[in-house]
Homo-oligomer: A and B are copies of this chain.
Amino acid sequence: MTEPALPRAERRRRTERRILDAARDLFAERGFERTTIRAVAAAAEVDPALVMQYFGNKRRLFAEAVRVAGPPDSAAGPEEAVEQLLGTLGVKMRLPPASLAMLRSMLTHPEAAATAREALSRQVGQVGASLSGENAPLRAALMTMILLGVTVGHQLLELDELREAPHDDLVAALRPALRALAEPAL
């Protein structure tokens, strides 16, 4: 009936991970404001006070839960930039919950907005560095925003027109649009 009584350190690690996983999922689903500490605690099968003890406050819990490794730096030509961006759509359009949580909250939670701005700016800079021609930063920003828009529409708003299309069709349709921005004006 009872568990095999794990060592303390291991037990703590598992609990912390359970809380973090629950928090990530809830933040991804409802956003920062509508996710309560109590709901996270319940999902992790833990007392709300324990969540506070582990993470101090709700903002820090969010920050820990959405911490995600940025894409590897790589700057080559415009072609590679396009493919790199298309790659951010994720395998079969399934983004990690941490990213979804960030996206979901970036318009309403100020700290999420700041983090998102930073991450997006880094990507813009990276893409921009691999472009030549006029207005490279602007074009890089537009390319990044295109993927933001598509991701939001697909993952968060769940628009039928995007969900019904096969992933490959979507990528194939999007590629020429990105190329049009990546290539120096013809």
Binding site for B on A (CB under 8 A): 30-34, 103-108, 113, 116-117, 120-121, 124, 128, 135, 137-142, 144-150, 152-154, 156-162, 165, 169-170, 173-174, 176-181
Contacts and interface: CB of A to CB of B under 8 A. Distances in A.
| Copies per assembly | 2
A145 B174 CA distance: 11
Given A107-B104, A152-B149, A120 B157 contact: yes
Nearest to A150: B145
Given A141-B162, A147-B149, 10 more contacts: A34-B108, A103-B107, A137-B161, A138-B170, A140-B161, A141-B159, A145-B154, A146-B146, A149-B152, A176-B181
Contacts of A146: 145-146, 149-150, 177
A142 B138 contact: no
Contacts of A169: 135, 138
What are the 9 tightest A-B residue pairs by CB atom distance, in nearest-first order? A149-B149, A141-B161, A31-B108, A33-B33, A145-B149, A176-B180, A145-B153, A148-B149, A177-B177
